[in-house]
Amino acid sequence: MLADEVYQDNVYVEDRKFHSFKKVARSLGYDENDISIVSFHSVSMGFSGECGRRGGYMEICGFGDDVMDEIRKVASVTLCPNIGGQILTSLAMDPPKLGDGCFENFMAEKEDIRLSLAKRAKTLASAFSSLEGMTCNRVEGAIYAFPRIHLPAAAIKAAKAEGMSPDLFYACRLLDATGIAVVPGSGFHQVSGRNKATGTWHIRCTILPGEDKIKVMIPRLKEFHESFMNEFRDRS
Residue 223, domain CATH: 3.90.1150.10
CB 46 within 8 Å of CB 6 = yes
User: 36: domain CATH number?
Assistant: 3.40.640.10
Same domain, yes or no: 124 and 175: yes
Domain assignment of residue 188, yes or no? yes
Domain assignment of residue 209, yes or no? yes
Domain assignment of residue 201, yes or no? yes
**Cα(first)–Cα(last) distance of the chain, in Å?**
51
Structural domain that includes position 139: 118-232
Q: 176-232 pLDDT, tens per residue? A: 999 999 999 988 876 654 444 456 899 999 999 999 999 999 999 999 999 999 999
Q: 76-129 pLDDT, tens per residue? A: 887 777 888 888 888 888 999 999 999 999 999 989 998 999 999 999 999 999
Same domain, yes or no: 125 and 221: yes
Same domain, yes or no: 71 and 128: no
CB 190 within 8 Å of CB 202 = yes
Put the strands of the sheet holding 37-42 in their side by side order: 2-4, 37-42, 56-61
- Report pTM: 0.84
Nearest in space to 9 (alpha carbons), one of 100, 86, 106 = 106
From residue 58, how far is each of 37, 172, 195 by CA, in Å? 10, 37, 42
